[in-house]
Amino acid sequence: MISRIMLRGTAAAIAIALSTAPAYAGSSENLLKRLHEKGILTDDEYAALVAEEEAEERAELEAAQTQVAAPASFDADRMVKMTDSGIGLEVGPATIKFAGSVNGFYVHDNPDTPSATTAVTGGIASVSGSNSSAVRNGLLPGFLVVNVSTQQNGWDVGATFGMYPGINSAAWGALGANNGGQPTALATAGIDFRQTFMTFGRKNVGTFKIGRDIGLFASDAILNDITLLSSGPPGGNVAPANTTLGRIGSGYIYSDFQPQMTYTSPSFGGVQASVGVFQPLKSLTGQDQTNSDPGFQAKLTYDGDFGGVNTHLWTSGITQKHDLVSGGSYTGKGLDVGAKVTAGPVTAVGYYYTADGLGTTVLGLFDTDGSGNARSSDGFYLQALATFGKVSVAGSYGESRLDYANAADEAANPTLVDTNSSWVGQLRYGLTPWVTLIGEYIHSKAEAHNGNEADSDAVAVGGILFF
């Protein structure tokens, strides 16, 4: 509207009236035009008033446009918004995502009775004078994984931190959170900081990883194991550690989380390769070592669909030279193959490994005799999972075998484990998209080379949550 108009006589009075009148679209212009037509305003007065009115309207429109456009002038790099999928947020140039899991199981273990014929060195079956009950984690502890990713100079860059806390109290020692449990008041749970790594890569180049993460050898064996979500053989149920055994030691050697520098190629028609340099590991039970060379691991995978049958195939290998302080050396090496096939509601997995100087159950356990001579080992597991709506039924069998290094080793270690095996039957119910309830029966058996054997049975009931 007209705020100030310095005109004489009647024109000044009209200007004051226009400045105080309520504003309606086009009302001022119409009034001025009618006054001009009646001769109340001269041509000069009319032109001056219309020009000022138009100037005021332009100023008001520009101010309104400035107010509407103001949010666009904000710094976009300082804004926070949700990610398109998963749980996370985008902060400026970076995406932060969170993933986690919590689980707990009531596990009742019925062990074999101790006797001269149940002693098996390295056996996974429980041997005790009484049953045991525990509320504990399954093969997985809980976890919280934080991933930060962005794109810089044409590279996809990321950092990952994975914390894996258990619900049971840990007896701290050489193995950190993976020592045996301490079920007493005032004890605290163990936190296994398994993952700390960075990645950088490009779509057509591949991805480089530097840090601590799961190894390549035997990683697909555990990641496709049904006991990963449940218990499997409990192992130490009287004083629960951070995790149960699952099928570790009765079907495959634990891949473990290891310091590494690895490269993973892009996928070419479903085929993808990974290769890495790893921190050399010392033997858990053999002679002391000063390892001068790193370890090497590699994996090759294939993913495809054949007429609606989804297929995942893999093979992986590991090798590491071990230098003994007392002199001499041996090389730990292994190779595995596996397949996962899904047809309709049924998923089946088959796996086999063979190794020399790796040991059994975990890397470096019973890998040599007392003189540093390598022992060979092998194993396999078979499993099937059928899903009908929210209900899944699964079963699996697997075993791991360990051979003597030589005749002297056989004479010195008569109760050394020959075969660890287990049967697992499992029932799952998907309560919600996050929560799965699980019941499981486990039969474990350990056989020594001298004929000793032990059998144990366990029942696990609980649930696991993923987000």
* 364-416 confidence digits (pLDDT tens): 999 999 999 999 999 999 999 999 999 999 999 999 999 999 999 999 999 99
* 34-58 confidence digits (pLDDT tens): 666 666 767 776 677 777 777 777 7
* 120-144 confidence digits (pLDDT tens): 999 999 999 999 999 999 999 999 9
Domains and CATH numbers, the chain: 9-73 (no CATH), 104-141+151-466 (2.40.160.10)
**The two three-digit tokens of residue 107, written as one number:** 């596990």
Which pLDDT value is given to residue 48? 73
Q: What confidence tier does 16 reach under pLDDT thresholds 50, 70, 90?
A: very low
Which pLDDT value is given to residue 3? 39
Which pLDDT value is given to residue 54? 74
Higher pLDDT, 24 or 175: 175
Q: Could you say which DSSP state residue 178 is in? A: G
175: pLDDT strictly greater than 90: no
**The two three-digit tokens of residue 249, written as one number:** 């030691």
How far is Cα 108 from Cα 420, in angstroms, rounded to an integer?
Answer: 20
Question: With the C-alpha atoms ordered 74, 78, 80, 81, is the resulting torsion angle positive or negative?
Answer: positive
* 213-253 confidence digits (pLDDT tens): 999 999 999 999 999 999 999 999 999 989 999 999 999 99
Q: How many CB atoms lie within 10 A of CB 28?
A: 21
How far is Cα 164 from Cα 193, in angstroms, rounded to an integer?
Answer: 6
Point out the least confidently predicted range of 81-85, 291-295, 359-363, 438-442.
81-85
* Per-residue burial over 278-295, b = 16 or more CB atoms within 10 Å of its CB, e = otherwise: bebbebeebbebebeeeb
Residues 6+ apart with CB under 8 A from 118: 112, 127, 452, 453, 454
**8 Å CB contact between 249 and 359:** no
Question: What is the pTM for the complete model shown?
Answer: 0.82
What is the identity of the amino acid at 307? Answer: G
| Furthest-apart CA atoms within the chain: distance in Å | 130
Q: Cα-flanking dihedrals φ and ψ of residue 346, to 5°?
A: -110, 135
Helices and strands (H, E) in the chain, number of each type: 5, 19
Q: Could you say which DSSP state residue 130 is in? A: S
85: pLDDT strictly greater than 80: no
How far is Cα 255 from Cα 224, in angstroms, rounded to an integer?
Answer: 13
112: pLDDT strictly greater than 50: yes
